[in-house]
Amino acid sequence: MEEERKRKREKAEQENETEKRKTTAAVWPDGAAGGGAATVVVNEGLPDVLGTVPEFDPDKEVAYTDLQLFTDNFSEEKRIGRTQFGILYRGKIPRGWRGNDEKDVTVKLWETKSLLPSGDPYHVMLEYLLDRMKDEIRFMSLPFLKSHQIVGKVEGYCFDVNNLGVVYDVKPLDTIYRIMSDNDKFGWRKRVKVALGLARLLKLCHGNTPQYIVRNLSAAHVIVDKDFNPILVDFAMIRGGGIGDNRLPLSLDIPLASYGYFDDDIILCGHWIEKTDVYTFGVVLLELIMNYTSLGLKRAIKTKYKTKHNFTLAQFACGAYGKELGKPPDGEMTDKLVHAYLQRDPDYDSDDGSKLTMLALRCVRPEAFLRPTMQEVIEWYNKCLDALNNVERLYQGKDAADIIQSKVLQLLNGK
């Protein structure tokens, strides 16, 4: 009797899955290269987003009204900035809520209606976003990430229809996208620290078994705390270990990456590879060096030169270096891409600037096979000795010699 019930249940589940999984032909829209727009694999069935999602901890589920409480009803004063699929807010869990003490958090409200292309069923987009959100939560909750502060910890999540949201246990100072131009607050040493932290995270993901690929790293997705420790809070496009889908997506027009971060080599490969993350890391490193965000440079070029051509930051940087980009790195290197304000920073070292510039240019090479791995990126970072010798000023209250030795050993061991 029990076996018969089990067979019936399995048959019903298979029929339900067959009914839900229907896809259409792949279509690449014009301007996918650089713009990062493409299409998405989705299910046509409307997901049940009401109530508890089985594989998630019900104790961490929060209501939409809780998200409103944490963010003063999503006030503009609490708004940090926009991500690929949502908006980040500063939040505060009040004392006594579910018996907890007061806590500063970051809240991400996933956008739904504003992302829906005209003419497409709303439930199709909703299911796609729900899948991305669930993938993000699954990944950020994996055991191998628990000891790494570079990944935001999930405090709670909201599965209300039309109001998807995640609460992170992160007290934000700002995103590096917004703080980029604040040179007095965001100096050379802190930028080196942020880039090194991101490099270590990507190396960890790529070197893990199974391997994980972030796919949508950008300056808008990286929060820094008061000590300028980088914390990545967006893994909506994560893939690996049974999480996410590595195929080129189908059906809906959805941005695959923020402007300036899209790796054209994806079109040639037909899928994402770890060198895609290397490319986006290179773009972030260029932003930190040049003191420009990708979108900020686009606007500056259009304003100054009155051109309709959309140069990406990587294209601009490669053009500035000219033929040097195709030469071996042992040739003459300069730090001319480093912003003049940063070069005047007392902690700036021109040799470090030159080495990090060449590293960034290597990462954004158009041919993926010519880019370094993240392990090689870390090894290249080790060559920037003056940057590492400044580590003691990044960690107050610890013995400088012990810190430097510890950090060098960690980097050499790939941690």
Q: Which residue has better confidence, 62 or 303?
A: 62
pLDDT of 99 strictly over 80: yes
Choose between 253 and 195: higher pLDDT.
195
- Which tokens belong to 214? 């972030």
Cross-strand partners of 164: 159
- What pLDDT, on a 0 to 100 scale, did the predictor assign at position 318? 78
Query: Does the pLDDT value for residue 152 go beyond 70?
Result: yes
Query: Are the C-beta atoms of residues 26 and 250 closer than 8 Å to each other?
Result: yes
The single residue listed with the structure tokens 């070029």 is 301
pLDDT of residue 291 exceeding 60: yes
Residue 182 φ/ψ region, left for φ over 0, alpha for ψ in the -120 to 50 degree band, beta for the rest: beta
The whole-number pLDDT of residue 140 equals 92
Residue 111 sits at φ, ψ, to 5 deg, of -80, 145
- State mean pLDDT over 39-67: 61
> Of the given ranges (119-133, 187-201, 358-372), which has the lowest mean pLDDT?
119-133
Domain residue ranges in the chain? 43-168, 174-412
Span 389-405, pLDDT tens digits: 554 444 443 443 444 44
Q: What is the mean pLDDT of residues 277-294?
A: 90
Say how many residues make up the chain: 415
Q: Which two tokens stand for residue 398?
A: 């610890």
Eight-class DSSP state of 114: G
Task: Identify the CATH number of the domain defined by range 174-412.
Answer: 1.10.510.10
Percent of all residues in the chain with a pLDDT value above 70, rounded to a whole number: 64
Which tokens hold the place of 112?
């739904």
- Tell me the residue ranges of DSSP E strands in 169-213: 174-175
Per the CB < 8 A criterion, the answer to whether 200 and 214 are in contact is no
- Residue whose C-alpha is closest to residue 191's, from 331, 117, 116, 290: 290
CATH 3.30.200.20 fits 43-168, yes or no: yes
Q: What residue type is assigned to position 131 of the chain?
A: D
pLDDT at 371 over 90: yes
pLDDT digits (tens, 9 = 90+) for 302-330: 555 555 666 778 887 877 665 444 443 44
Distance CA 261, CA 284 (A): 9
| Maximum pairwise Cα distance, the chain | 79
Q: Which residues contact 318 (CB under 8 A, 6 or more apart)?
A: 325, 361, 364
Say if residue 148's pLDDT is above 60.
yes
- Model confidence at 366, pLDDT cuts 50, 70, 90, reads confident
